[in-house]
């Protein structure tokens, strides 16, 4: 399947009337695929580090991930956390907690592992069962950081991109053929509205196409309207 047809849709970032659209802000930001989570366990000198890392698009999602892990491992002595969230409205939010471990020995290394991945919208929590042997600050830094880094490295990546959304109206006899031709050229169909004698089709057009020219060619000149830009998530292959 074409990567364009596997994309996840987010919000429209700009709108406009018919005519040549204004190019929106550049994208290219990387994040894990929607819904991704991974678990892992490591043992260092009888201490067990149970890690959970997943996508979190806001702080509420990160807190839910942390709460889930605390419920899974209520007997752990520490539940250390880190989050890196970029909502696209300002600087990314970075938070971490050592949860009773020596300052800077747990949450900080976990956050560094998230930042080093090149991804955003991540949350991580590590539950530690103390094994009776002190690891020292250096040992804790390595254990917590590596527990998160190993999981983040497994994340399937998606890239944010902008796609133009267009609407065109054709008669019923043309609609089926038009939608087939659009999808074969990499477009993603968003909506079809059937009227008494016309069908309104909305589609997201890939960047290598000239949408207005393509729609004019496929419809023998039917008027097309630019509706805006849409942010999508394209899987990296």
CATH topology classification for 34-155:
Ribosomal Protein S5; domain 2 (3.30.230)
Residue extent(s) of CATH 3.30.230.30 domains in the chain: 34-155
User: Can you say whether the dihedral through the CA atoms of 205, 206, 211, 214 is positive or negative?
Assistant: negative
Span 162-179, average pLDDT: 92
What share of the chain in percent tops pLDDT 90?
Answer: 69
- Helix residue ranges, H only, 38-97: 59-72
Q: pLDDT per residue over 33-47, tens digit each? A: 999 999 999 999 999
Strand intervals (E) in 86-194: 93-97, 122-129, 157-171, 188-194
CA angle 153, 206, 225 (to 5 degrees): 140
* 162: confidence class by pLDDT, cuts 50, 70, 90: confident
Residue 26 has pLDDT above 90, yes or no: no
Question: What is the chain's mean pLDDT, rounded?
Answer: 88
Per-residue pLDDT, 46: 93
Bridge partners for 185 per DSSP: none
d(CA 204, CA 191): 10
Residue 105 has pLDDT above 60, yes or no: yes
Q: pLDDT per residue over 172-207, tens digit each? A: 999 999 999 999 998 989 999 999 989 999 999 887
Please report the DSSP string for 149-175 in residue order. Answer: HHHHTT--EEEEEEEEEEEEEEEHHHH
Higher pLDDT, 9 or 225: 225
Q: How many CA atoms lie within 13 A of 153 on its CB side?
A: 8
d(CA 154, CA 165): 33
d(CA 18, CA 28): 26
CATH topology classification for 3-29+158-235:
Alpha-Beta Plaits (3.30.70)
Of 87, 96, 91, residue with least CA distance to 58: 87
Residue extent(s) of CATH 3.30.70.240 domains in the chain: 3-29+158-235
Q: pLDDT per residue over 74-102, tens digit each? A: 999 999 999 999 977 778 999 999 999 99
Question: Is 45:128 a contact under the CB 8 Å cutoff?
Answer: no
């Amino acid at each position: 399947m074409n990567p364009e047809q596997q994309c996840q849709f987010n919000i429209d970032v700009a709108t406009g009337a018919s005519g040549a659209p204004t190019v929106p802000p550049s994208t290219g930001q990387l994040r894990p695929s929607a819904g991704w989570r991974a678990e892992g366990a490591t043992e260092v000198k009888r201490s067990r580090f149970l890690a959970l890392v997943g996508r979190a698009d806001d702080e509420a999602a990160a807190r839910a991930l942390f709460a889930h892990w605390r419920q899974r491992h209520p007997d752990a002595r520490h539940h250390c956390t880190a989050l890196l969230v970029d909502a696209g409205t300002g600087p990314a939010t970075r938070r971490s907690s050592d949860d009773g471990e020596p300052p800077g020995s747990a949450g900080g290394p976990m956050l560094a592992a998230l930042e080093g991945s090149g991804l955003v919208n991540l949350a991580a929590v590590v539950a530690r069962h103390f094994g009776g042997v002190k690891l020292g600050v250096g040992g804790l830094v390595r254990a917590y950081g590596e527990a998160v880094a190993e999981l983040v490295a497994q994340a399937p990546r998606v890239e944010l991109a902008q796609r133009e959304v267009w609407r065109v109206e054709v008669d019923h006899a043309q609609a089926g053929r038009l939608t087939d031709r659009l999808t074969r050229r990499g477009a993603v169909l968003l909506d079809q509205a059937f009227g008494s004698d016309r069908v309104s089709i909305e589609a997201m057009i890939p960047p290598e196409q000239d949408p207005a020219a393509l729609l004019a060619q496929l419809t023998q000149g039917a008027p097309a309207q630019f509706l805006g830009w849409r942010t999508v998530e394209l899987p990296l292959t």
